[in-house]
């Protein structure tokens, strides 16, 4: 996948709400593979909703979302399954980890579907983010920042044309944020992938090709 385009998209919940200054809603917005984007928004303006639309979790909008010119409303289950396995990676704001599983087990769930990383590479990635001693701990016992790092590693355990990160550093200090940024740029660079980051304030300190106001 090379291009994502939104044409006059508006969430149903905002249908009767005046929106002033948005560069996404009720506009034409595009994301190109190989480029990085920061979507800035105040709370409640729909950044998590946008991420859900791009990943196919929700479709409660009017307007059109196109992947390489094809309307995603026409995608069936098989198409979405393949896209999420090989074309679109995501770091959810609420992480969506299984609390009863360990950090490593949560990552292996995704990697088992893609075969992207070896066990050694997974442990190395967790180690780079300071999680070596938490690898065998249940996710439910980890801090929010630790869970965010585990979910990030899981998101990287697949091939992708685009990676969407919804407030990826909301629970992190500058040091861990920088470590994640470096890993993100390495993985996305190796795959020639596009990066879409949302933020209500904190975000990766990196050069974005375009900053968009939601």
Residue 87 half-sphere exposure toward CB, CA atoms < 13 A? 15
What tokens were used for 17?
Answer: 């709400």
Cα dihedral 70, 34, 163, 24 sign: negative
pLDDT value at residue 16:
83
Query: Is residue 201 predicted with pLDDT exceeding 90?
Result: no
Q: Which 3 state secondary structure label does DSSP give 22?
A: coil
Question: Taking a C-beta distance cutoff of 8 angstroms, is the pair 179, 156 a contact?
Answer: no
What is the pTM assigned to this prediction?
Answer: 0.95
Taking the CA atoms of the chain, what radius of gyration do you get in angstroms?
A: 17
pLDDT tens digits for range 11-62: 999 988 877 889 999 999 999 999 999 999 888 889 999 999 999 999 999 9
Please, what is the average pLDDT of the chain? 96
pLDDT value at residue 21:
86
pLDDT tens digits for range 56-107: 999 999 999 999 999 999 999 999 999 999 999 999 999 999 999 999 999 9
pLDDT value at residue 20:
80
Helices (H), the chain: 47-55, 77-86, 103-114, 119-128, 144-155, 174-191
Report the percent of the chain where pLDDT is more than 70: 100
Read off the pLDDT of each residue in 118-142 and give the average, rounded to a whole number: 97
Residues 6+ apart with CB under 8 A from 100: 138, 139, 140
Whole-Å CA distances, 18 to 13, 26, 51, 200? 11, 11, 21, 20
What tokens were used for 11?
Answer: 């969430």
């Amino acid at each position: 996948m090379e291009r994502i385009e939104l044409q006059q998209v508006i969430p149903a919940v905002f249908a009767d709400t005046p929106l002033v200054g948005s560069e996404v809603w009720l506009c034409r917005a595009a994301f190109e593979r190989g480029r990085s984007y920061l979507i800035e928004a105040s709370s409640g303006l729909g950044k998590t909703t946008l991420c859900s639309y791009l990943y196919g979790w929700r479709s409660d909008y009017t307007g059109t979302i196109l992947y390489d010119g094809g309307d995603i409303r026409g995608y069936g289950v098989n198409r979405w399954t393949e896209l999420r396995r090989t074309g679109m990676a995501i770091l959810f704001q609420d992480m969506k980890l299984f609390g009863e599983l360990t950090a490593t087990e949560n990552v292996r769930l995704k990697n088992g579907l893609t075969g992207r990383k070896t066990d050694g590479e997974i442990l190395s990635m967790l180690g780079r983010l300071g999680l070596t001693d938490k690898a065998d701990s249940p996710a439910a016992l980890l801090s929010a920042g630790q869970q965010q790092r585990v979910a990030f590693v899981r998101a990287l355990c697949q091939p992708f044309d685009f990676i969407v990160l919804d407030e990826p550093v909301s629970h992190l200090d500058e040091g861990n944020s920088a470590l994640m940024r470096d890993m993100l740029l390495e993985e996305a660079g190796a795959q020639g992938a596009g990066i879409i980051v949302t933020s209500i304030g904190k975000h990766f300190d990196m050069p974005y090709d375009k900053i968009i106001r939601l």
